[in-house]
Structure 1
Amino acid sequence: MKWQIKYALANLNKESEQDCARYVENDVIEITVEGKPDVLAAIFGDYDVTKEIAEKYVLQNPDIDFLCGYRKDCVWEGAAISYLRDRNIGWGNLGTLGSAIHDGNANYAEHKVFKFSARLIHQYGIVDTVEREFDRIFRVTLKNGRTVRIGMIPDYEPTADNIRSMWEKFGPVDIAWNINPNGTPCATAMRAGEELGCEVLKTDEMKECLQRF
């Protein structure tokens, strides 16, 4: 049994006396919650979920309801997200799985860290289309034809290192979006954004900024 399976079972089973998580086979566990549908979840232990990895898990375990990226730093490619969504398979971290099993919507759940912002970006009237390159990177086409690349940063107080690390891993962005509702980018993050040529914004500044493009 792999390390991520052991940790997932231990964490899920300590949440409630009514919850029961057990190992099935491969990297799959079954979670039973009173009054909710049973959930089959595959637990992934590495850092990046590509479409190829998602396909492998689904081909090996066609009945899974949810694919869980256990590591906090796990990154999901947009193609993997689309592949899972098209098959009614939820995706995200262990916290997302824990919420989904109690909500009874594991098949449709998405990473809780990015969920609200991912939906909000579609609701701006100036946005025409949205392409999700990664769980935290969007390529947005505005109704005026301009294309804007947006990176989401969930940290409470993003630093210059957060901004630069995102550029190094995912490439240049036009906007670094601090999606934490209580967060505020620190002064060094703002300066890093100026040096790199991107806006560093909170959620309440996003719509106005997009209107300027």
Structure 2
Amino acid sequence: MKWQVKYALQNFNDTSGRSQAEYVEKDLIKIETEQQPDVLALISDAYSISKAVAEKYVKDNPDIDFICGYRKDCIWEGDAIYFLEGENIGWGNFGTLHSAAREGNANFAEHKVFAFAARLIHQYGIVKQAVREFDRVFRVELKNGRKIKVGLIPDYEPTADNVRNLWDKFGPLDIAWNFNPNGEPTSAAKAVGDELGCKVVKTEGIKKYLTTL
């Protein structure tokens, strides 16, 4: 049994209450929850999940309901996300899997850390199209024709390193969006953003800022 499967089983059964998880085979576990459908989940130890990786997981395990990227820093590519959504297979971290099993929506669940921001960006009336490049990066086309790249920062108090790391991993950004409702970027984070040409904004300011572009 691989390390990530072992820890997923342990964490699920230690914290669940209504749910219990059991080992199936390879990277698969089955989760049973009172009054909810059983969930067959694949627990991945990948650092990043591309479309090719997701397709192989599904080809080898056609009955799965959810793919869990167990590593905290696992990155999901946009094409993998769109593929899994088309197959009615949920995706995200361990917390997403835990919630989805209890709520009975594992086949349609998405990474809970980024779900709110991902929905909100599509609801702004000034946005014509938002295409997901990674779980935390969107290519956005505004109705005025302007095209921008937006990166998501979930941290409570984003630092200069948070902004730099996002830029280094995903390339130049126009906006670094700190979408944590209680978050407040540090002055150093904003300064690094200005230095890079990347505006660091909070949720209550992003729509107004988009209207200025």
Partner of residue 25, structure 1: 25
CA distance in 1, matches of 2:16, 2:82: 32
The answer for the alignment partner of 1:47 in structure 2 is 47
Structure 1 letter corresponding to 2:170? F
Deviations 1:109-144 (A, max 9, x none): 000000000000000000001110000000000001
1:91 corresponds in structure 2 to 91
SS in 2 for 1:177: strand
How far is the alpha carbon of 1:16 from its aligned partner? 3.2
Deviation at 1:15, TM superposition (A): 1.8
User: What CA RMSD, in Å, does the superposition of the two structures yield over aligned residues?
Assistant: 0.7
**SS, match of residue 107 in structure 1:** helix
Partner in structure 2 of residue 79 of structure 1? 79
What is the identity percentage for the equivalent residue pairs of Structure 1 and Structure 2? 63
DSSP-derived class of the 1:201 partner: strand
Q: For 2:133 and 2:16, how far apart are their aligned partners in 1?
A: 36
User: TM-score, with normalisation over the residues of structure 2?
Assistant: 0.99
User: What amino acid is the match of 2:62?
Assistant: P
Residue by residue, what CA displacement relative to the aligned partner does 1:123-180 show, whole Å, maximum 9, x if unpaired? 0000001110000000000001000100000111001111111111100000000011
2:2 is equivalent to residue 15 of structure 1: no
Q: Which whole-Å CA distance do the structure 1 matches of 2:119 and 2:73 have between them?
A: 22
Residue 106 of structure 1 corresponds to: 106
Task: Answer yes or no: is 1:211 the counterpart of 2:211.
Answer: yes
Helix, strand or coil: the match of 1:212?
coil
CA drift of 1:17 comes to 4.0
For 1:11 and 1:88, the matched residues in 2 are separated by 25
Supply the distance in 1 between the matched residues of 2:81 and 2:181 (Cα, whole angstroms).
24
Distance 1:191 1:156 in 2: 17
The CA distance in 2 between the partners of 1:98 and 1:55, in whole Å, is 23
Shift of residue 11, structure 1, vs aligned partner? 0.5
Equivalent-residue separation in structure 2 for 1:200 and 1:16 (angstroms): 37
For normalisation by structure 1, the TM-score amounts to: 0.99
Q: Which residue of 2 aligns with 1:190?
A: 190
Aligned to 1:3: 3
Q: How does 1:52-201 map to 2 (within 5 A)?
A: 52-201=52-201
Segments of 4+ moved more than 4 angstroms: none
Q: Distance in 2 between matches of 1:14 and 1:29?
A: 15
Q: Distance in 2 between matches of 1:178 and 1:19?
A: 33
18 and 123 in structure 1: CA distance in 2 versus 1, 3 angstrom threshold: closer
How far does residue 26 in structure 1 lie from its aligned partner after superposition? 1.9
Stretches of structure 2 lacking an aligned partner (at least 5 in a row) = none
Q: How many residues align?
A: 213
Task: Report the Cα offset of residue 25 of structure 1.
Answer: 1.3
Partner of 2:37: 37
- Are the aligned partners of 2:152 and 2:177 in contact in 1 as well (CA < 8 Å)? yes
Contact 2:29 2:40 in 1 (8 A): yes
Tell me, yes or no, if the aligned pair for 2:140 and 2:150 is still in contact at 8 Å.
Answer: yes
Deviation for aligned residue 1:9: 0.1
**Partners of 2:78 and 2:43 in 1: CA distance:** 19
How far, CA to CA, are the matches of 1:208 and 1:16 in structure 2? 41
For residues 47 and 5 of structure 2, what CA distance do their matches in structure 1 show?
15
